Amino acid sequence: MGSNKIKSMYVCSECGWESSKWVGKCQGCGSWNTMQEEIRNTAAKSTASSKIGIVSVQGVYAPPVAMRDIDTRNEERYKTNLKEFDRVLGGGIVKGSLVLLGGDPGIGKSTILLQVCNRLGNMLKILYVSGEESKRQIKLRADRLEVNCDNLYVVTETDIEIIAQIIKNENPDLVIIDSIQTMNLNELSSSPGSVTQVRECTNLLMKTAKSLEISVIIVGHVNKDGAIAGPKVLEHIVDAVLHFEGDKQMSYRILRAVKNRYGSTNEIGVFQMTNDGLSEVENPSMMLLSGRPKNVSGTCVACAMEGSRPILAEIQGLVTNSGFGNPRRMSTGFDYNRMNLILAVLEKRAGYFFSNADTYINVVGGLRLDEPAVDLAVAMSLVSSLKDTAILENALAFGEIGLAGEIRGVSQASARISEAIRLGFSKIVLPYQNLKNIKKENYPDAELVGVRNIRDAFRAMTENK
């Protein structure tokens, strides 16, 4: 072991980029004033995990295994039967996996995890480690959520080495760490929540969990930019990254996989915060469309695919005369630059003029829609507001808008049509290209209108034949 060498490093709190000198601007991610000094004891660091006897001793190593001999058949999963949660993880928590659950403070991370514990706690032994709340607070919340299971144990501790020792002694099946920002490795002189602490604590947890095949769910708070503190640093260590998001004023919450080594990253889970915890929303479209105004200009329903599931959402557009100077543009739930592009196409290719108008776009329900198939509905709500002409109540549109003003085909058109019909829409405006490949007689309950350009689409959306 080398001599104890103390040196000072500067680490970016956003992305983990390191420098031996202080700089004003991080060269990793370009943020200003994010470099923090951390005192490193280089010798101590290398002993941190060997101390608990998990890393293999020098000279002993696992021999290489032939690829065809590696067993992948039954990757064991713990199903919570909280369908929306399982779906996002690709069918349950994989045994021995490390999952990071990120989200704003107060969004409901502790709540959902306690509910997950409740579902699993009669089958598995679970250790709930909290560095944020007292045992009493946890118990009060558990009572409120009607948590009632035999094998759920609570530890309030922040020293990660002690926690690793407890994990080794107790050998649970699942460990919850709430939250990683409160955990602390004593050897490091930096404060809890700093990049080094968060990274080293996660590393230690990973080594402990992987060697004992224990699943770990780590809670990480998100900082103001929507990145988990020391974000990139953590995201590549763990097997899956879930984001829990939603408008705190509104009751629904969306769980989204950002990274998943054991499944797709497209799926979302939808929940609603109620007085007794989070309840699953199995029919998100219905919820998102409830309270939709009837016969008002500037609103159009879109159909977006979230993973394998089509979701309908209302898009509202507002176009008003701007007084003078630069017009205001604002977009919530839809990409701002994409909205500007659509406005440009509407002006240049379809002859709808917005240059003297303030324009606003809002996706109702706090959902973020990034799929190009939503373009047409965004354009429709803007034109509808500009012309002050309401879109037919039973009509819905999907399609991508190209720079030449053409409506381009999108994927999974039939899944979208079926969902629209299921929710009672009887006029569906879609790209002509998609319609060509669809048998109209399969959908006797709806009128399918294939369109090639924006003007045709608007006519179809506003005029009854």
What residue ranges bind ligand TYD (CB under 6 A)?
103, 105-111, 141, 144-145, 273, 275-277
Backbone angles phi, psi at 79, to 5 degrees: -85, 130
Q: Which does 111 bind (CB under 5 to 8 A by kind): ligand TYD, Mg ion, none?
A: ligand TYD
Closest CB to ligand TYD among residues 275, 464:
275
106 binds, among Mg ion, ligand TYD, none (CB under 5 to 8 A by kind): ligand TYD
Residue 297 binds: one of Mg ion, ligand TYD, none (C-beta under 5 to 8 A by kind): none
Q: Shortest gap between Cβ of 114 and ligand TYD (angstroms)?
A: 8
Residue with Cβ nearer Mg ion (130 or 384): 130
Which one of Mg ion, ligand TYD, none interacts with residue 92, CB within 5 to 8 A by kind? Answer: none
Pairing mode, strands 309-321 and 357-363: antiparallel
**Least distance from C-beta 112 to ligand TYD, angstroms?**
7
Quote the CA–CA distance of 97 and 260 in Å, as a whole number: 10
Q: For the chain, how many helices (H) and strands (E)?
A: 13, 23
Alpha carbon distance 279, 142 (integer Å): 15
Closest to Mg ion by CB, 101 vs 395, is 101
List residues binding Mg ion (CB under 5 A).
110
144: partner contacted, choices ligand TYD, Mg ion, none (Cβ within 5-8 A by kind): ligand TYD
- By beta-carbon proximity to ligand TYD, the closer residue of 203 and 251 is 251
Residue 9 near residue 164 (C-beta atoms within 8 A):
no
Q: What's the closest the beta carbon of residue 272 comes to ligand TYD, in angstroms?
A: 10
Contact partner at residue 293 from ligand TYD, Mg ion, none, CB < 5 to 8 Å by partner kind: none
Min dist. Cβ of residue 384 to Mg ion (A)? 42
Smaller CB distance to ligand TYD: residue 76 or 146? 146
Q: Are the C-beta atoms of residues 105 and 239 closer than 8 Å to each other? A: no
The residue written with tokens 């998001």 in the block is 245
- Residue 138 Cβ vs ligand TYD, minimum distance, rounded to whole Å: 10
* Other beta carbons less than 10 A from residue 75's beta carbon: 14
Binding partner of residue 103 among Mg ion, ligand TYD, none, CB cut-off 5 to 8 Å per kind: ligand TYD
Cα 42–chain centre separation: 36
Tell the smallest beta-carbon distance from residue 162 to ligand TYD (Å): 22
Closer Cβ to ligand TYD, 227 or 311, answer by number: 227
- Cα torsion 379, 382, 383, 389: sign: positive
Distant-in-sequence, close-in-space partners of 362: CB < 8 Å, separation ≥ 6: 315, 316, 317, 318, 331, 332, 333
Q: Which whole-number Å values give the CA distances from 410 to 223, 345, 381, in the listed order?
A: 35, 18, 19
275/437 with CB nearer ligand TYD:
275
Minimum CB distance to ligand TYD smaller for 82 or for 346 = 82
Closest CA relative to residue 216, chosen from 149, 124, 294? 124
Q: Shortest distance, CB of residue 146 to ligand TYD, whole angstroms? A: 10
Tell me the β-bridge partners of 310.
305
CA atoms within 13 A on the CB side of 438: 26
Rounded Cα–Cα distance for residues 379 and 300 (Å): 9
Report the partner that residue 225 touches, choosing among ligand TYD, Mg ion, none (CB closer than 5 to 8 A by kind): none
Find, among 368, 395, 114, the residue nearest to 258 by Cα: 368
* Minimum CB distance to ligand TYD, residue 104 (Å): 7
